[in-house]
Structure 1
């Protein structure tokens, strides 16, 4: 006697488009994103004495080091902006980008145990990293605002309407880190050496980005090359908006946006392709 054929109520498959971010499915798992963000926040300061105060200590100490090394010893220009505020602006933006990139790049390798036990959209993990780092950025940005108000009240900085573009700049940084991070997270499933190379490369990349210097200080040929660094337009726009200095033009931001979107598309393609089979190689 033949048994009745079972009908599945839900089928999990990997037949989605390689360019699909599956945002609707990700939204269904928004509670899981919240749990991951909460986990990252708590684990970062578990068994520490100062806890979240490190959000303030890190940029303050880094800014002081940059102020002494690059401001006093190397005597790099700041286009007339107060050196402390100039370096604090660069450090605040860079900390967010580098943290997102390094965290996202370990998505598959660092979460292989979870991925092998339960299904959820894999994009949830890198998105939670971007969001949890956004919370840290918010705290450090508050520190920048406090310092900015002090110098603004003294008339040493001059802001403009480009301040309104700040949310866009943050989103572009997040998308850039997400796109490049997804590329490296996919590649490190087979080539784990890339994770160590990325850490070194991020450190070098900082010196190719106007974090500690303005683009106006670069020779003409390097200045033209720097325009194709996606972070150049973002950092120069931020400093121009808040400090009123820099060699910023809207074209720089357009170029940055275009390159970032291309990298995000490439990262999505590679990420979706690798997530189907990565458990066989991790």
Structure 2
């Protein structure tokens, strides 16, 4: 009886094997678990505002209040120029891109520590978790982008401000891909390092805030010259925000060469991030 049972050929639908190399990414498994990916996306969105009074309205309130603060501090008090664009639109156009990046970065950077309970109980491709954070953050970006276009229509019809929407607006999906890849790359690098160095988690919020001031969110690139301008250009987000502003407001200093630098920087950072993430995920349960 046992012999007959052993001779039965069983075709398994899924075989779980340990990863043996840095480049064993098992990308096909991510597609196989796409239903789980969408469940995580739904969970992230619902849990974020499940027990709040205003719910998803916070997606609108936060950028609006931040824009008002920027107008008071940087436009009225500091009198930093906005390249001729209305300050509200100038600041909000930068915040829309920046908020998406910071959300991707902060959520992804706690992938291991925030989900250690799930990772220790059931198998699924671990990259699904940070990817779900990237996709769920798109919901907030979409709501804030709608707010930006509503303000654009208001300034156009009621204030009489003229805008020069151009063909570069069609590149918005590509810009979003770059922002998401940057947030994913840096986020999984930080998440992998914090499994051993816990104090790095305390620097995420502070470091993200500092990075915003090194990004042309509250000032135009033309505001700087010389070495300070060069330092701002090192930031890979600078060409993205400048190109986005140029596509909807007609202001900014967009150059194809600078965007090429961002593309290369993004590919390298994402590649390194996945390599480190792939290596750490095999043993992180022993140190978390």
Q: Which runs of 5+ in 1 are unaligned?
A: none
1:210 match: 216
Structure 2 unaligned residues grouped into runs of 5+: none
Pick the aligned partner of 1:254 from 245, 257, 260: 260
Quote the offset at 1:41 in angstroms.
1.0
Which residue is equivalent to 1:125? 129
Could you list the per-position Cα deviations for residues 69-101 of structure 1 after superposition, in whole angstroms to 9, with x for gaps in the alignment?
Answer: 111111111001110000011111111110110
Q: 1:116 aligns with which of 114, 120, 130?
A: 120
Alpha-carbon offset, residue 16 of structure 1: 5.6
CA contact (8 A) 1:89 1:239 kept: yes
Q: What CA distance in whole angstroms lies between the structure 2 residues aligned with 1:142 and 1:122? A: 32
In 1, Cα distance between the equivalents of 2:285 and 2:264? 33
* Partner Cα distance (2:77, 2:45) in 1: 37
CA separation of 1:28 and 1:11: change in aligned 2, threshold 3 A: closer
Show the counterpart of 2:111: 107
Q: Give deviations 1:12-71, integer Å, cap 9, x for gaps.
A: 122365245433211111111111111111111112111111111111111111111111
Q: How does 1:141-220 map to 2 (within 5 A)?
A: 141-153=145-157, 154-220=160-226
Residue 140 (structure 1) aligned to one of 127, 137, 144: 144
TM-score, normalised by the number of residues in structure 2: 0.93
Q: Would you say 1:245 and 2:251 are equivalent positions?
A: yes
Residues 17, 148 of structure 1: alpha-carbon distance in 2 compared, 3 angstrom cutoff: farther
Q: CA deviation at 1:168?
A: 0.8
- What residue in structure 1 maps to residue 239 of structure 2? 233
Offset of residue 150 of structure 1: 2.4
Give the corresponding residue for 2:87: 83
CA contact (8 A) 1:152 1:158 kept: no
2:58 is matched with which residue? 54
Match in the other structure for 2:229: 223
Give the distance between the partners of 1:267 and 1:276, measured in 2 at CA: 15
TM-score by length of structure 1 reads 0.95
1:64 aligns with 2:58: no
For each residue in 1:222-265, what CA deviation from the matched residue of structure 2 results, as whole angstroms up to 9, or x when unmatched? 21232221100100000111110112111111111110110000
Deviations 1:192-213 (A, max 9, x none): 1101112111000000000111
SS of residue paired to 1:174:
helix
| Contact preservation (8 Å) 2:109, 2:187 | yes
* Equivalent residues of 2:19, 2:282 under 8 A apart: no
- What is the rounded CA distance, in whole Å, between the counterparts of 1:152 and 1:248 in structure 2? 23
Q: Could you tell me whether the CA contact under 8 Å between 2:22 and 2:279 is conserved in 1?
A: yes
Q: Distance in 1 between matches of 2:66 and 2:140?
A: 15
**Distance in 2 between the 1:118 and 1:201 partners?**
33
Shift of 1:5: 6.1
The CA deviation string for residues 86-138 of structure 1, in whole angstroms up to 9 with x for no partner, is 00111111111101100000001110000000000001000110011101110
Describe the SS at the equivalent of 1:119: coil
The count of corresponding residues between Structure 1 and Structure 2 is 282
Partner SS state of residue 227, structure 1: helix
